[in-house]
Amino acid sequence: MDGFLLIDKPQGPSSFTAVAHVRRLYKIRKAGHTGTLDPLASGLLIVALGQSTRLIPYLSLEPKRYIFRVRFGTQTDTLDSEGKIVYSGGHLPGYTSVMQVCAVFGDGYEQYPPEYSAVRIDGVRAYELARSGKQVRIAPRRIHLHEFRCVNYDVCSGSAEFTVTCSGGTYVRSLARDIARELGTFGFASMIRRTGAGAFSVEQAKNLDDLDGTDASILKASDILQHYQSVVLGKNQMELVSRGRVVVLDTNLKTYETVIAYKENGVLAAVLVRKCPGPDDEHSSVVSEKMNSGPVFHPVRVFHDETGN
């Protein structure tokens, strides 16, 4: 059982727990998600099944889209409502300041990930260090905010709602902290919901409780990888690819670096990357000769059906 599930993860379970539920329900040993959602975050979680886990690096999952709320006046150690309050007594900013704060961040900025995050520091997760009471120092990373705006602010409660379209690697919890800092106060993310990733929307997703363990909800690789050029391999070409050998394709593919190959019956066969012979390539003469007939591609992922073919 191969393919992808678009899941609307609820608040509460971790991404790992959601994937474990999928494994049990679909009676499959191999499954993995394409990007973690915090336990208190909800929204789009893309889960790959079986051999499709090997396709995760080829998915187009940017930009990410979120809706989130910031509660002003206090800050927690985890930067969300799950943590302990570490700062309090901050003022509640005015309506106009909150509605205009997004413009300060422009296209993006150098963002410090939360101390309670999965970032590795000398091989150890940052949240493990934070939980043990050790000082956590995480290097900032450049993130991009393509669209960022405040859609609502309740001055009385000090709660503001934002939407953002951003680059991968953006921590919404850190963004909540930094919004508050820009306004001269404290703040944390009281709600986070991922509404989309790349071409995929949470509106396409299924609730965990609605999954029935059949392939009715599973998207095929061809549905997910539409942003790549595809090619159908003939029997001889398939024989070469299955043995990890280079293959000559049609000249109309010479401008593509990566193509997705299918068998004649429509089953996913391989991910192919265009081959250019290098000076240290022991097969350079063979590749050069083949290039006279058309662009040469070599397989970087080969997929087999249940019969091993």
Q: Is residue 259 part of a domain?
A: yes
User: Of 2, 8, 38, 178, which is the active-site residue?
Assistant: 38
Is it the case that residue 291 has pLDDT exceeding 60?
no
Buried b (16+ CB within 10 A) or exposed e, 169-185: ebbbbbbbbbbbeebeb
Query: CA 209 to CA 229: how far, in whole Å?
Result: 35
In a shared domain, residues 269 and 283? yes
CATH number of the domain within which 27 lies = 3.30.2350.10
The whole domain housing 101 covers 64-197
Residue 214: predicted pLDDT? 83
Closest among 186, 108, 170 to 144, alpha carbons compared: 108
Residue 101 CA from chain centroid, whole number: 27
Q: What is the pLDDT of residues 240-283, one digit of tens each?
A: 999 999 999 987 888 899 999 999 988 899 999 998 755 555 45
DSSP state of 244: T
Q: What is the domain count for the chain?
A: 3
Question: What is residue 282's DSSP assignment?
Answer: T
Query: Each residue of 130-170: pLDDT tens digit?
Result: 888 887 788 899 999 999 999 999 999 999 999 999 999 99
Residue 208 lies in a domain: yes
For range 96-114, the mean pLDDT: 95
Beta strands in the chain (DSSP E): 3-9, 31-33, 41-49, 64-72, 75-76, 85-87, 108-111, 120-121, 124-125, 141-154, 159-166, 187-197, 200-201, 206-207, 229-232, 247-248, 258-262, 268-274, 296-302
**CATH number where 263 lies:** 2.30.130.10
Bridge-based pairing of strands 296-302 and 247-248 is: antiparallel
Look at strands 141-154 and 124-125 and give their pairing.
unpaired
**Same domain, yes or no: 152 and 99:** yes
250 is catalytic: no
Q: Is residue 117 part of a domain?
A: yes
Point out the least confidently predicted range of 121-135, 184-198, 205-219: 121-135
